[in-house]
Amino acid sequence: MEYLYIKSLHIIFVVTWFAGLFYMVRLFIYHKEAEDKEETARYILQQQYKLMEKRLWYIITWPSAIITALTAGYLLYLSPGFLTQSWMWVKLAFVAALFIYQILCHKIFKQLQNNVCKYSTMQLRLWNEVATIILFAVVFLVVLKNAITWVWGVIGILLVSVILMLMVKVYKKLRAKKSWDENDKN
């Protein structure tokens, strides 16, 4: 019974961790877009985004990541047999990649807090998809475990990545067209 309670907490904090990561990078994009506003609006928006980012990062995202890691460690302690299964090691590699992603997001967070972001909104939109790809990989891996071969798994992840990148490019074109159309009206 203890295992199921810990597993439930683990799943809840995985969800809040991903929610934090998804929303954080979306805030990065909005924060960066605010640079294009007139001075007063830019200042107000960027101050608000800084506050929102700080609260999301330190109250939700980092605590969720830490609790996810702690509950995962405890689950592996309660059921060490999982460590003998190859799919678990692949999952742990993806989790390590997600922590690296979060650390890199932390660097972007610090840049934005200091008004020095080196990334374009397009780069940030693409960056936002990295967590999505990791999420897809981990969920399919956990659900299918050894029922899926590594080759098909890798092909599937690559396919999802390509589709997501294409969607970002289509969005960029539609947004540019909408902006062009709005300028024509004026």
For the annotated binding site for heme, the residues are 10, 91
Binding-site annotation: residue ranges: 10, 91
Q: Would you call 174 exposed, middle or buried from its count of C-beta atoms within 10 A (0-12, 13-18, 19+)? A: exposed
The answer to whether 111 and 117 are in contact (CB under 8 A) is yes
Paired tokens of 94? 């993806």
Paired tokens of 121? 């909104």
Residue with tokens 């830490």: 66
Which amino acid is present at 127?
W
Which amino acid is present at 52?
M
Taking the mean position of all CA atoms in its chain, how far away is CA 77? 27
